[in-house]
Amino acid sequence: MSLSFSERRRQDFLSEQHWLQEVIDIPEVLSMHASGPSGAADSEAEGWTLSLQCIARIRYEYLSLKYTAGEPIHSLRADLDAVVTAHEAATEQLRKYERNPNAIGLDIGSFDGYCPCVALIGLCYLLDRRDVLPRIAALLDGQDKANAGMDFLIEEFLAYAPMDRYACDTLLAPNPFEPLADAMSTDDNEAALKDLHRFLGRWYRDLAGAPWHNTHKSKGQAGYFGYWSFEAGAAVLLLGIEGDSALHSFPYYPTDLVAWAKANVRLQGDEDTSTAFARR
């Protein structure tokens, strides 16, 4: 017996009407942006840059929306490729437009760029797609590695890929990510769990400036694709925290995705599951 939409969805905010409309609208919007350069630009090159950046953003939002709507987790693994490929196309165009091979494809220097970047990295671990993390690192680092090592938290996450990464003491977005950085810095998982609880306790409130904040209250839920701290789930997975029930009360903690990841960490490799995510 199949579940109803209200039983499948992973956040009660999402209405079935909004979901069904977005399934129709999003492919049309993606096709529109792919058909030509944005008119909100002074040149064709800038217009293509804006169009491709919109495609990359929407691809990520659609993946998040599918998770929110209760789509099977295994189906999202392939969708992640489309997200990263879209970001690569946007970054390639940005670097051509700016004539800068090191232009940052995921602008972690801005609040609006940092948050989806850490969430995307977190999704790579939760969907067991560590194979795409070097591609995300390339979007950040630039062809000459000119931007490598800009942020402590991002470097901590990427180092679990595993990749040779860079030492960094700077946290570009301490509010609200400092408790998450604290969790990633300690060898004591009990302390890390408390840090994660503190992080999630302020996560939504402290991200009030994000463009998606409170969109579930907007007309037709325009702009709402789910509120998820995928990075917190990835931290639980990477740190090897077994008991995360203290975090389940937060509606934006991806409980079932963390459980799925813990049960399926061998999908992309032959590592012993007991050591696949061991602390470095």
The label of the residue with tokens 């940092």 reads: 114
pLDDT digits (tens, 9 = 90+) for 23-66: 999 999 999 999 999 999 999 999 999 999 999 999 999 999 99
Comparing 280 with 22, the larger pLDDT belongs to 22
Q: What pLDDT does residue 162 have?
A: 80
pLDDT-derived band at 266 (thresholds 50, 70, 90) equals low
Q: Is the predicted pLDDT of residue 74 greater than 60, yes or no?
A: yes
Q: Which CATH class is domain 14-260?
A: mainly alpha
pLDDT-derived band at 267 (thresholds 50, 70, 90) equals very low
The mean per-residue pLDDT over the stretch 165-193 comes to 96
Q: What pLDDT does residue 111 have?
A: 84
The mean per-residue pLDDT over the stretch 211-236 comes to 96
Give yes or no for a contact between 278 and 160, defined as CB atoms under 8 angstroms apart. no
**Mean pLDDT, rounded, of the chain:** 93
200: three-class secondary structure by DSSP? helix
- Which residues are CB-neighbours of 9 under 8 A, at least 6 positions away? 16, 19, 68, 69, 70
Q: Tokens for 155, please give them.
A: 């470097």
The mean per-residue pLDDT over the stretch 13-29 comes to 97
Q: What pLDDT does residue 49 have?
A: 97
Sign, CA torsion 141/146/150/153: positive
Predicted structure pTM score: 0.92
Give yes or no for a contact between 208 and 111, defined as CB atoms under 8 angstroms apart. no
The mean per-residue pLDDT over the stretch 233-243 comes to 96
Instruction: Encode burial over 141-168: b for 16+ CB neighbours within 10 A, e otherwise.
Output: bbeeeebbbbbbbbbbbbbbbeeebbeb
- Closest by CA to 226, choosing from 200, 249, 258, 204, is 204
The mean per-residue pLDDT over the stretch 87-106 comes to 97
Judged by phi (left if over 0) then psi (alpha if -120 to 50, else beta), residue 151 lies in beta
